[in-house]
Amino acid sequence: MDIGLIFKIAGIGILILILDKLFKDVKQENIATLVTLAGLVVIFMMVIGLISRLFDSVKVIFQL
């Protein structure tokens, strides 16, 4: 399951890259930055989910 998550994040990243370039070519700078920010927030949510799982498992294993 986790491996799919990484590729999902990478896919979103590449999608944002393409969209960003697309909007830049069409001279729509503000939409480009909005798309980048939106994608960044989505990816950050996923990564935070992973980080919380990491902290829970480390707490259990190392009795932190």
Partner 1 sequence: MEIIQILAIALIAAVILTLLKKEKPEIAIQISLAVGIVIFLFMLGKITLVIESVQQIALKANISPTYLNIILKIIGITYLASLGIEMCRDAEQNAIASKIEFAAKIIIISLAIPIVMAVMDMILKIMP
Q: Which residues bind partner 1 (CB under 8 A)?
A: 2-3, 5-7, 9-10, 13-14, 16-17, 20, 36, 39-40, 43-44, 46-47, 50-51, 53-54, 57-58, 61-64
Q: What is the closest distance, in whole angstroms, from the C-beta atom of residue 56 to partner 1 in the complex?
A: 10
Residue placing its CB nearer to partner 1 in the complex, 2 or 25: 2
User: Which parts of 1-64 fold into alpha helices (H)?
Assistant: 2-25, 29-62
Residue placing its CB nearer to partner 1 in the complex, 15 or 26: 15
* Alpha-carbon span 26 to 11, nearest angstrom: 23
Give yes or no for a contact between 42 and 50, defined as CB atoms under 8 angstroms apart: no
Residue placing its CB nearer to partner 1 in the complex, 5 or 34: 5
Closest CA to 43 of 5, 1, 2, 3: 5
